[in-house]
Chains A and B, each alone.
Chain A
């Protein structure tokens, strides 16, 4: 964390196939001990606490959690877009360079050009008074000097890349003349306009219906293949993550609770919260009958008054008195690329194995 290792792209592709990923210094984006607090009239809000993760080149990392679990705050912190009163500690390195505490001028060169963001509500995130093509051009012109003609050509090209039919005519339309799915595509076109290394997609499909969702995710997938950029996919939809991500990070009340590759999280999760989330999904392979969907009892805690110990302990069916409500569990390595923040993770795993 302290020694900045400049990365060599050739190594990177090899590294990608090698097992040790978490300790990898060649990570594109490396977050260590990130903590974000907001002072409010009611007290300090612990939006994100002690986050550490790596995003490697050419991978999709899914970040899952319910509202208020710190997903979006993390992405805003990476882009340096948090309000000035936010208290940020820890380190965020992009290609070895520290981003936390950088002046606005430096961050402006990073945003859009190196790390770009796809917003949830494309209609709100597109400027209503500009034609879509002009907005894409503007995103490019923010970082590059290009003639109007070149900008327009590039905008058409980008719209084509995200699969908008008849892009040459569509560049001249306004956002309100686009359908929901097309708006989100235009939004994606805007964010990849400067070929960023990292794309942060903040709930890119939440506002869309399921068919369009699938199309947009497909576009994201294709973009990643074409531009070899990494994607941080923030969502509360485990289904979306299952379809696109290679690794998953689960968050609860501003803390990481579990992290691992997609198979591990979906089939060998040993954190009670993740397990609860997974079992609350409707499943095709389970007998429906009169069975109700599983739910996690209780409400997520207030971020101002976090329960002592593990933040999940009041709702946890496995919570142990005097242990879980006193000690904040660390994220522990539990096997290959699988980390869990639960004291009883081994017990749970053993119990699951005996149960079959």
Chain B
């Protein structure tokens, strides 16, 4: 992730892309791809995320050291970054880079799974409430408000205490609490979109309610949904870190980036141990940023009218 890549001039690529723009009718997918690849930050973010996910999920093969084996010579001796240990070693004498890759497995899994689940649930609830209105809207909105007033962290802590601290439980609990925001966004969007004449036209052509929602309204809000999806990836990873930091999340020997931060909170004032906080924190930051950039890129790529603006 060098900043230089981001700022580097983009003219050559740009010209090439525009030159062939109107030549032949393209498929939806081709158009989508062209618009997406024009968004450099998003492309870079995608590459970073793919590489990172790959490295994390195949950590057993990728990581330079086996985190289950202890190097007794390093035990208790915290060492800063070096050629052999890129991110230094921790108090258990483990290579921090290897630990981070393994921890990323859980953080990323939670992030993506929670975002996907809560977005699907939220979009379903929100669009039903917005489109059908009246009675259904009142019930669904009451449920949404109910979830919103509940102090999330407290509920999370209790639920995890009750169901256990496995990542699956964390995913479902976070998703169950996290869908309300997208539900509200969706409801609002659907409320305004359903007044559009093309929805009226769809009704006049005999389309049923679900068909209108899925085929006529939702495609018009891919943008907001995409943005929300990416935001909630970031949100879920951060919430998981918070929970773990407070001791309610993932329990050792499993580890996540949040847990790594929590384990090393004592390092704040100790410059020799600073890297123990710095690297997990940096990973969180990189993932959250990349996911947000990716969201921007996807949103633009999904909008057919943004075709000529870059």
Q: Which residues of chain A have a CB within 8 Å of any CB of chain B?
A: 79, 81, 104, 107-113, 116-117, 119, 121, 124-131, 138-139, 142-143, 169, 172-174, 176, 187, 190-191, 194
Interchain Cβ contacts within 8 Å, total number? 78
Chain B residues contacting A121 (CB-CB under 8 Å) are 197
26 inter-chain pairs at a CB distance below 8 angstroms, sorted by A residue, are A79-B204, A81-B200, A107-B206, A108-B207, A108-B208, A111-B203, A112-B206, A117-B204, A119-B197, A119-B200, A121-B197, A124-B196, A124-B198, A127-B198, A127-B202, A129-B222, A130-B219, A131-B28, A138-B207, A142-B211, A169-B25, A172-B26, A174-B304, A176-B305, A187-B201, A190-B205
In the complex, A35 Cα to B25 Cα: how many Å? 50
Q: How far is the CB of B91 from chain A (nearest CB, A)?
A: 54
Chain B residues contacting A117 (CB-CB under 8 Å) are 201, 204-205
| Contact across chains for A128 and B220 when beta carbons are under 8 A apart | yes
Chain B residues contacting A125 (CB-CB under 8 Å) are 197-198, 200-201
A-contact bits for B179-212, CB 8 A (1 contact / 0 none):
0000000000000000011101111111110010
Q: How large is the interface on B (under 10, 10 to 19, 20 to 34, 35 or more residues)?
A: 20 to 34
Q: Is the interface of B mostly helix, strand, loop or mixed?
A: helix
Chain A residues contacting B198 (CB-CB under 8 Å) are 124-128
Given A124-B196, A127-B216, A130-B219, A142 contacting B28 (CB threshold 8 A): no
| Contact across chains for A116 and B204 when beta carbons are under 8 A apart | yes
Given A121-B197, A142-B207, A142-B211, A174 contacting B305 (CB threshold 8 A): yes
The winner among A121, A124, A142, A194 for most chain B CB atoms within 10 A is A142
Given A109-B206, A113-B206, A172 contacting B25 (CB threshold 8 A): yes
Q: How far is the CB of A141 from chain B (nearest CB, A)?
A: 9
B215 within 8 A of A: yes
Given A119-B197, A169-B25, A173-B25, A128 contacting B304 (CB threshold 8 A): yes
Chain B residues contacting A119 (CB-CB under 8 Å) are 197, 200-201, 204
Chain B residues contacting A128 (CB-CB under 8 Å) are 198, 220, 304-305
Chain B residues contacting A190 (CB-CB under 8 Å) are 201, 205
In the complex, which residue of chain B has the Cβ closest to the Cβ of A121?
B197
Chain A residues contacting B222 (CB-CB under 8 Å) are 129
In the complex, A150 Cα to B196 Cα: how many Å? 29
Q: How far is the CB of B304 from chain A (nearest CB, A)?
A: 5
A-B pairs, top 10 by smallest CB distance, nearest first, are: A112-B206, A112-B205, A111-B206, A124-B197, A172-B25, A117-B204, A125-B201, A127-B198, A125-B197, A108-B206
Chain B residues contacting A108 (CB-CB under 8 Å) are 206-208
Q: How far is the CB of A3 from chain B (nearest CB, A)?
A: 28
Chain B residues contacting A111 (CB-CB under 8 Å) are 203-206
Chain A residues contacting B26 (CB-CB under 8 Å) are 172
Given A111-B206, A142-B205, A129 contacting B200 (CB threshold 8 A): no
In the complex, A169 Cα to B201 Cα: how many Å? 24
Chain A residues contacting B202 (CB-CB under 8 Å) are 127
Partner of A138, one of B196, B200, B215: B215
In the complex, A128 Cα to B197 Cα: how many Å? 11
In the complex, which residue of chain B has the Cβ closest to the Cβ of A172?
B25
